[in-house]
Amino acid sequence: MSRLTRAGATRYLASRVKNEVLVSNLGQASLDLLAIADRPLNCYTFGAMGQCSSIGLGIAIGRPDVRVICLDGDGSLLMNLGSLCTIAAEAPRNYVLMVWDNEVHQTTGGQATATAKKASLVGIARGAGIEKGIEVRTQDELARAVDRVLKEDGPFIVVVKVEKGPSTAPFDQDLIGQASRFRKALAAL
């Protein structure tokens, strides 16, 4: 069975969301989301390495009426594992942490991360106190996980094992414009 790709999983998730906020991690996750499914309710984060899950947590706490889905990477989440403890402690029901886990630091040249060896992000999240953890390897599993996170209370962590490989999408330098557009779109929701 072929592995999921980050771009394919991004395309599928984007086809399922309506008024949900998507918060994408710097580098690959943001480049793919920007190219495949740009929309005002996307929050691209090109700064603050490691902080995607925390930025999404702040949005979820600030707007408990809106479901927030973070698209993090394995390297970035490994840099901010304490965030899992804070997510569990605050336990926002509208919060989903999805991780594109390709087991490498893709943006810096594909060096292996700890998930290529022993570490399980779902296992670490369980230890931190996030009880709803799902590991996804196939399209069917991804579809079932998305069904659950769109209707069931969180917090969730969904670790999606994806193929290695860099995004081919272009970078948009207008970070100020992206943040401003997102803030206005969320305020209008």
Partner 1 sequence: MADQSWAKHVADVLRRNGIRMFATVPDYIVGCVLDELWADPECRVVTTTREEEAVGLLSGAWLAGKRGALLMQNSGLGNCTNALASLNMASLIPVVLVVSHRGDLGEFNPAQVPMGRAATRILDALGIRWIRPTSIAELEQQADGLIKLCYVSSQPVAIVLPSELTGGKKG
Contact residues: partner 1, CB under 8 A? 23, 43, 45-63, 80, 82-83, 85-86, 89-90, 175-176, 178-180, 182-183, 186-187
What is the rounded CA–CA span in Å between residue 165 and residue 144?
25
For partner 1, the closer CB: 11 or 126: 126
Alpha helical stretches, state H, the chain: 6-16, 28-37, 52-62, 74-79, 82-90, 121-128, 139-151, 175-188
Minimum distance from CB of 141 to partner 1 (Å)?
Answer: 28
Minimum distance from CB of 47 to partner 1 (Å)?
Answer: 3
What is the rounded CA–CA span in Å between residue 180 and residue 173?
13
Ramachandran angles phi, psi of 149, nearest 5°: -70, -20
Minimum distance from CB of 109 to partner 1 (Å)?
Answer: 20
For partner 1, the closer CB: 37 or 79: 79
For partner 1, the closer CB: 7 or 59: 59
Number of alpha helices (DSSP H) and beta strands (DSSP E) in the chain: 8, 8
Minimum distance from CB of 44 to partner 1 (Å)?
Answer: 10
For partner 1, the closer CB: 4 or 43: 43
Cα angle 68, 37, 75; round to 5: 60
For partner 1, the closer CB: 49 or 134: 49
Query: Is there a contact between 45 and 179 (Cβ–Cβ < 8 Å)?
Result: no
Minimum distance from CB of 157 to partner 1 (Å)?
Answer: 16
